[in-house]
């Protein structure tokens, strides 16, 4: 074979080796597809068109060394090493992107939405830069799913979530939370940055909860329910609570305290004008005064700072205790003042024991009797409920208490009471209790 043809083929072989080394550096993946022609192909093209340059260099070395094979071999190795060093230096960003992508793909991801909750009647405006921080991000993963520059006004524990298409795939568990907001009633700005217990949140997503899809009212007939929401509750005074939520299920993840910031630190785009503040605060509701309706009118009352992370989170030693009125199976849905919620099925209702837990604002009691399904809703008056529990535990904070629900055999009368070992208190301000056939 012609000697010069051999040198040319050697130049081609050098470029092939360099291409393979480049692909090795990228671990045989093209990760940046920002256009129809990935930018990695541009590097490969440069390596290929280097063949004539390499051929000329080898021709020169062959002439100088009088076609010495060792000199040709050594020069070929030098060309490969030089190219490898250049590729190593120039592909740092691509390799980092690929490594991050691989780590992201190995990270547990879940289908869930993110949202913001506020106490009823205490609207806030979420400002730019707020969001759940995702430590490991994929090439197309959003930083956060929260929608900023929006007014949030909901109920404590019920999140106003931002829609995320299931086609977008799962999202890793966040490891931090950064919030900036404006409180309309306080006329103040707040900021919070905190780390989140990533392992705790991931465990809830992974393990799920018991869900009675078929309404059997039993654990045996239930399936595994999945948490599908991560909600940040924002209360007056800079109080923040995080919940993980599913259908009729919500668990508190953590409680945090934000700090007030000066309006001077807020950009003009984020500042809330006096006119905008009045517009939100005048958006009142004239419907019935019940928890499911949004009210912003507080009749000049002072903001009850602290109740969302102190009073509503205080635990008492109690259990619910229904009487035997001929029901076959039953289940309880509890909706608590601290924003949590859960369901207990028939087996757990029967074996229910005293437990240190927060107070419930709403109870849904579902039961079967004479092969018919009934539902009973009990909505407590906040002041009466807390006063009763405080009165019966003033001498002993751990006093076991029974929240008794007594239903007549004909289902026409229901009495709700709180009982200690030596005292009984009636709930007189409970909303009209009616048992409905469902």
For each of the chain's 438 residues, which pLDDT tens digit applies? 578 788 788 888 888 888 888 777 765 455 444 444 456 677 777 888 888 888 888 888 888 888 888 888 888 898 888 888 887 777 677 667 767 777 777 777 888 999 999 998 899 999 999 999 876 666 555 556 788 889 998 889 998 887 665 556 778 889 999 999 999 999 999 999 999 999 999 999 999 998 887 777 888 778 899 999 999 999 999 999 999 999 999 999 999 999 999 999 999 889 999 998 888 888 765 544 444 445 566 667 789 999 999 999 999 999 999 999 999 999 999 999 999 999 999 888 988 999 999 999 999 999 999 999 999 999 999 999 999 999 999 999 999 999 999 999 999 999 999 999 999 999 999 876 888 887
Q: What percentage of the chain's residues is helix, strand, coil (to nearest 5)?
A: 30, 30, 40
Of 130, 148, 135, the closest CA to residue 258 belongs to 130
- Rounded to a whole number, what is the largest CA-CA distance in the chain? 113
User: What's the Cα-to-Cα distance from 417 to each of 87, 221, 320, rounded to whole Å?
Assistant: 77, 31, 10
Q: Are residues 123 and 196 in the same domain?
A: yes
Q: Are residues 83 and 180 in the same domain?
A: no
For 121, left (φ over 0), alpha (ψ -120 to 50), or beta? left
Q: Which secondary structure element, helix H or strand E, spans residue 93, and what is its range?
A: helix 92-106
How much is the pLDDT for 20? 82
Q: Are residues 124 and 252 in the same domain?
A: yes
How much is the pLDDT for 382? 95
User: What's the Cα-to-Cα distance from 58 to each of 55, 69, 148, 319, rounded to whole Å?
Assistant: 5, 11, 62, 88
User: Would strands 435-437 and 341-344 be described as parallel, antiparallel, or unpaired?
Assistant: unpaired
For 411, left (φ over 0), alpha (ψ -120 to 50), or beta? left
In the structure encoding, which two tokens stand for residue 38, read together? 């990935």
Is there a domain that residue 290 lies in? no
How much is the pLDDT for 35? 41
In the structure encoding, which two tokens stand for residue 71, read together? 């000199």
Q: Are residues 318 and 384 in the same domain?
A: yes
Count Cα neighbours of 195 within 13 Å in the Cβ-side half-sphere.
5
Q: Are residues 322 and 338 in the same domain?
A: yes
Q: Are residues 383 and 331 in the same domain?
A: yes
Q: What's the pTM value of the predicted model, to 2 decimals?
A: 0.78
Residue 320 CB coordination number (10 Å):
18
Distance CA 227, CA 218 (A): 20
Given 105, 123, 149, the domain boundary residue is 105
User: What's the Cα-to-Cα distance from 32 to each of 88, 97, 300, 343, rounded to whole Å?
Assistant: 17, 8, 57, 47
Q: Are residues 204 and 332 in the same domain?
A: no
Which pairs count as long-range contacts for 274-283, CB under 8 Å and 24+ apart, including other chains? 277/184, 277/187, 280/123, 280/125, 280/151, 280/153, 280/184, 281/123, 281/184, 281/185
Q: What are residue 229's DSSP bridge partners?
A: 113, 245
Residue 361's domain spans which residues? 311-437
Distance CA 86, CA 350 (A): 73
Q: What contacts 37, CB < 8 A, 6 or more positions away?
A: none
Given 235, 260, 281, the domain boundary residue is 281
Q: Are residues 115 and 181 in the same domain?
A: yes
**Rounded CA Rg of the chain:** 33
How much is the pLDDT for 284? 60
DSSP string covering 341-395, please? Answer: EEEE-HHHHHT---EEEPPEEEEEEEEEETTEEEEEEEE--HHHHHHHHHHHHSS
Distance CA 230, CA 111 (A): 11
Q: Which secondary structure element, helix H or strand E, spans residue 407, and what is its range?
A: strand 401-407
How much is the pLDDT for 37? 46
Given 71, 105, 139, the domain boundary residue is 105
Q: Which secondary structure element, helix H or strand E, spans residue 193, and what is its range?
A: strand 188-195
Distance CA 33, CA 40 (A): 9
Of 68, 92, 69, 88, the closest CA to residue 80 belongs to 88
As for how many domains the chain has, the answer is 3
Is there a domain that residue 360 lies in? yes
Is there a domain that residue 289 lies in? no
How much is the pLDDT for 172? 85
Contact at 8 Å (CB) between 320 and 355?
A: no
Q: Are residues 43 and 114 in the same domain?
A: no
Is there a domain that residue 306 lies in? no
């Amino acid at each position: 074979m012609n000697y010069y043809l051999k040198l040319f083929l050697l130049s081609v072989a050098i470029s092939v080796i360099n291409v393979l080394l480049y692909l090795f550096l990228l671990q045989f993946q093209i990760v940046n597809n920002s256009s129809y022609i990935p930018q990695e192909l541009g590097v490969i093209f440069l390596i290929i068109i280097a063949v004539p340059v390499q051929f000329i260099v080898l021709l020169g070395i062959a002439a100088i060394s009088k076609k010495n094979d060792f000199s040709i071999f050594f020069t070929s190795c030098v060309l490969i090493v030089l190219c490898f060093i250049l590729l190593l230096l120039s592909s740092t960003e691509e390799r980092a992107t690929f490594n991050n992508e691989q780590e992201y793909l190995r990270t547990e991801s879940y289908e869930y939405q993110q949202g913001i909750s506020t106490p009823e009647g205490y609207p806030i405006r979420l400002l730019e830069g707020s969001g759940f921080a995702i430590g490991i991000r994929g090439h197309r993963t959003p930083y956060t799913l929260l929608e900023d520059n929006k007014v949030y006004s909901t109920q404590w524990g019920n999140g106003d979530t931002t829609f995320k298409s299931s086609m977008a795939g799962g999202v890793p568990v966040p490891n931090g939370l950064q919030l900036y907001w404006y409180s309309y009633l306080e006329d103040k700005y707040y900021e919070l940055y905190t780390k989140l217990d990533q392992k705790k949140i991931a465990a809830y997503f992974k393990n799920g909860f018991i869900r009675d899809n078929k309404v059997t009212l039993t654990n045996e007939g239930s399936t595994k329910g999945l948490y599908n929401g991560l909600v940040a509750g924002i209360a007056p005074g800079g109080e923040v609570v995080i919940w993980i939520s599913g259908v009729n299920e919500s668990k508190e993840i953590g409680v945090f305290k934000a700090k007030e910031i000066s309006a001077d630190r807020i950009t003009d785009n984020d500042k809330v004008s006096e006119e905008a503040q009045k517009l939100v605060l005048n958006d009142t509701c004239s419907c019935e005064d019940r928890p499911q309706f949004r009210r912003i009118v507080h009749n000049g009352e002072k903001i009850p700072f602290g109740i969302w992370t102190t009073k509503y989170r205080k635990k008492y030693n109690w259990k619910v205790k229904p009487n035997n009125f001929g029901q076959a199976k039953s289940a309880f849905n509890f909706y608590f003042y601290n924003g949590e919620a859960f369901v207990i099925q028939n087996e757990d209702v029967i074996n229910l024991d005293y437990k240190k837990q927060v107070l419930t604002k709403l109870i849904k009691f579902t039961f079967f009797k004479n092969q018919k399904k009934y539902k009973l809703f009990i909505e407590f008056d906040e002041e009466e409920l807390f006063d009763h529990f405080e009165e019966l535990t003033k001498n002993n904070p751990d006093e076991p208490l029974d929240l008794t629900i007594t239903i007549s055999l004909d289902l026409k009368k229901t009495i709700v009471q709180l009982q200690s070992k030596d005292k009984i208190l009636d709930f007189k301000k409970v909303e009209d209790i009616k048992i409905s056939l469902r």
